[in-house]
Amino acid sequence: MESPAVILQRLSETNQSLVDRYLVSARETLAQLVSTPNLLDNIKLQRAPTGYARNLIFGDDQMSAWALVWSPGARTSIHDHRCSCCFAILSGIIREVHFSAVDDNRAVKTAEHIRTPGFIASMMPSGPNIHQMINDGPEDAISIHIYGYDHRMHASSVDREYQQIEN
């Protein structure tokens, strides 16, 4: 069985191809990762007692892959990404809320979905892909995220944050 690093390196090499080919490859890579037994056993995962912690599991000049550990009640801001954003739920349950921008700072809720283990999403970098992720459950959740950016160049994949307003 290939190591996660080899699997992710192959995806990184695909990152320079057409966007649709890359997103298909990212979905396939995430499917392979989430089906890998004991995927994170050799990685000491950081946790945030009241939020979420990002753990870099792979990174180069094309992309970065992270294991996010979500404490109960953890939530992201309402945000959009500067790059492609692909993720899979490894364990636990995450509620993903989608939004539509009203202007540069405000957004309205358009949908929400419960994401369970094995769920995979791939979002184009052309967006907008405004969303928020929340762990409403009583236990930690873990997700794997692949972003199309060099983690050494940017602290985060987030391009813009929004405040929610009612319709």
Q: Domains in the chain, start-ordered, CATH in brackets?
A: 4-165 (2.60.120.10)
120 has a pLDDT exceeding 80: yes
% of the chain residues with pLDDT over 70: 91
Cβ atoms of residues 33 and 4 within 8 Å: yes
Q: For 48, list phi and psi in degrees, rounded to 5.
A: -115, 120
Neighbours of 126 (CB within 10 A): 8
pLDDT score at 82: 74
Q: Compute the half-sphere exposure of residue 115: CA atoms within 13 Å on the CB side of its CA.
A: 24
Q: Residue 20: what residue type?
A: D
- Rounded distance, CA 96 to CA 166, Å? 18
Average pLDDT of the residues in 5-31: 74
* Percent helix, percent strand, percent coil in the chain, to nearest 5: 15, 40, 45
Measured between its terminal Cα atoms, the distance across the chain in Å is 50
21 has a pLDDT exceeding 80: no
- Rounded distance, CA 110 to CA 97, Å? 8
Average pLDDT of the residues in 140-163: 86
Torsion of CA 30, 36, 41, 43, to 10 degrees: -30
Q: Residue 87: what residue type?
A: F
Which of the four pLDDT bands, split at 50, 70 and 90, describes residue 69?
very high
